[in-house]
């Protein structure tokens, strides 16, 4: 993986175009800006109940976007990262419809996980309480077979996302088919979507078990054999992320986004730099994504202390709601058909109250933290919450999944804060110091984050109390490379 900033984007959100439009955008509008691109689900259909994360056919590029040939053509411009949706597929898929039609006679009967597969005598209330849930309610959905029987199928997320039995021959063949397609069409990095939920075992949490680690290891090894890297996508307690990082090529640093917000709100760097002391070095860093701003990753879990305590987490969430003028409250939790309750749905820009200095400093901290940075397309253009789309769909995550027309793109690119972000990206991509060693000094409201490669070093120096932030190059003499306040 290139040590350069990556873009996170849907294919169809720019003028309703497909892969050809996205390729032109990356080649012309943002020429040389990105070393890679995480292309969010482009499988058929892109407009299901979970914006492509509930594929009817994981092996088919949605015809409205293009073909696998177009995917491969884009890979000539940037390293492509794609989602392998490990845990589930759509209830509308031909495979599941065949199961409903033929029951045990279907060749796909073992592809889908049923309550009886894990709990032959039925799940008890005590066993149900042990299961880690990303959403309220049961982890099963009753589905009626043609013969009149009702079967409890495992549905970790929604009743349209039927969990796969990854241990079954049919499940293994399904995942292998997608891996082969990725490798043949230029995909270099695979995001293992919801992999933490893939293995279920009676008497456990059914989340990030030892068996899950073994499964992720085997899947990563197979991807490596085909010339691809893997990234584990897991929202959990920070210690889980540290453990997962030792078992995969890359892991997300999901603790970073809430910690940066806490740092800027509280004007105290303590919690952030406590994390940076132990954070995995083989990570991808994000501030915003197609999902909300994860909160659970920085907080406590049961009797395990978090990077932030419960009171700090509550204060963080309420401050986001206040900074966004209540918009995030309308899109979060039970307010707007959310799949999960461990995140706040809001653009990062609005979470910071559209404070340009804080936004650019947040990006600078992200870029100087260990890992390869990713920037979401809405965050790239410093867009605000899309309240119209939220009102139209009543899906909380849509507050940060805007559709962008050419006029919006042009005006957003011209904003001073966007130009500041592009300058940060250019520096992060080009400076050799980022291939060296990371170090920091931090106390109270001030910090220095530094990268050193041989005789060259680059440092981010900031003071939260005085709202000053400089990026300086330390060679024969100190040279100011970027003054963040000049863009705010």
Question: For this structure, is 233 an active site residue?
Answer: yes
Catalytic member of 23, 54, 83, 233: 233
Catalytic member of 23, 193, 340, 398: 193
Question: For this structure, is 193 an active site residue?
Answer: yes
Is 392 exposed, middle or buried, given 0-12, 13-18 or 19+ CB atoms closer than 10 A?
A: exposed
Torsion 314-316-322-328 (CA) sign: negative
- How far is residue 185 from each of residues 20, 45, 66, 67, measured CA to CA in Å? 15, 19, 13, 10
- Residue 269 CA to residue 449 CA, distance in Å, equals 12
- Residue 392 CA to residue 390 CA, distance in Å, equals 5
Neighbours of 351 (CB within 10 A): 33
Query: What phi, psi does 156 have (nearest 5°)?
Result: -60, -40
Positions annotated as catalytic residues are 193, 233
């Amino acid at each position: 993986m290139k040590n350069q900033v990556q873009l996170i984007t849907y294919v169809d959100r720019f003028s309703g175009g497909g892969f050809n439009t996205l390729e032109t955008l990356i080649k012309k509008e943002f020429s040389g800006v990105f070393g890679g691109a995480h292309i969010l689900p482009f499988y058929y259909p892109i407009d299901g109940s979970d914006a492509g994360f509930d594929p009817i056919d994981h092996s088919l590029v949605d015809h409205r976007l293009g073909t696998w040939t177009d995917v491969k053509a884009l890979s000539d411009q940037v390293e492509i990262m794609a989602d392998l949706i490990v845990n589930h597929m759509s209830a509308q898929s031909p495979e599941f419809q065949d199961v409903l039609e033929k029951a045990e006679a279907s060749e796909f009967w073992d592809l889908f996980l049923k309550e009886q597969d894990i709990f032959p005598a039925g799940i008890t209330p005590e066993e149900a309480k042990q299961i880690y849930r990303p959403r309220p309610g049961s982890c099963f959905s009753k589905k009626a077979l043609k013969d009149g029987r009702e079967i409890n199928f495992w549905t970790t997320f929604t009743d349209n996302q039927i969990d796969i039995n990854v241990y079954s021959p049919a499940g293994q063949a399904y995942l292998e088919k997608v891996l082969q397609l990725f490798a043949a069409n230029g995909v270099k990095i695979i995001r293992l979507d919801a992999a933490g939920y893939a293995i279920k075992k009676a008497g456990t949490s059914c989340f990030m078990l030892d068996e899950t680690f073994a499964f992720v290891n085997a899947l990563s090894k197979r991807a490596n054999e085909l010339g691809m890297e893997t990234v584990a996508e897991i929202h959990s307690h920070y210690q889980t992320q540290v453990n997962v990082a030792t078992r995969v090529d890359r892991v997300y640093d999901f603790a970073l986004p809430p910690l940066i917000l806490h740092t800027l709100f509280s004007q105290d760097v303590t919690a952030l730099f406590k994390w940076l002391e132990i954070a995995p070095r083989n990570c991808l860093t994000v501030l915003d994504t197609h999902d909300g701003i994860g909160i659970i990753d920085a907080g406590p879990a049961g009797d395990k202390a978090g990077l932030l305590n419960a009171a700090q987490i509550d204060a963080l969430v309420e401050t986001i709601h206040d900074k966004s003028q209540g918009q995030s409250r309308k899109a979060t939790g039970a307010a707007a058909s959310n799949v999960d309750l461990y995140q706040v749905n809001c653009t990062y820009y609005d979470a910071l109250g559209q404070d340009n200095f804080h936004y650019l400093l947040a990006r600078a901290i992200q870029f100087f933290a260990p890992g390869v940075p990713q920037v979401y397309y809405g965050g790239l253009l410093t867009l605000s919450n899309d309240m119209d789309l939220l009102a139209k769909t009543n899906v909380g995550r849509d507050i940060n999944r805007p559709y962008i027309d050419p006029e919006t793109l042009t005006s957003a690119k011209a904003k001073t804060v966007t130009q500041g972000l592009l300058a940060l990206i250019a520096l992060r991509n080009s400076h050799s110091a980022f291939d060296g060693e990371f170090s920091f000094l931090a106390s109270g409201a001030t910090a220095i984050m530094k990268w050193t490669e041989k005789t060259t070093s680059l440092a981010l120096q900031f003071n939260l109390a005085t709202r000053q932030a400089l990026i300086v190059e330390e060679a024969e003499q100190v040279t100011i490379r970027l003054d963040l306040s000049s863009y705010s």
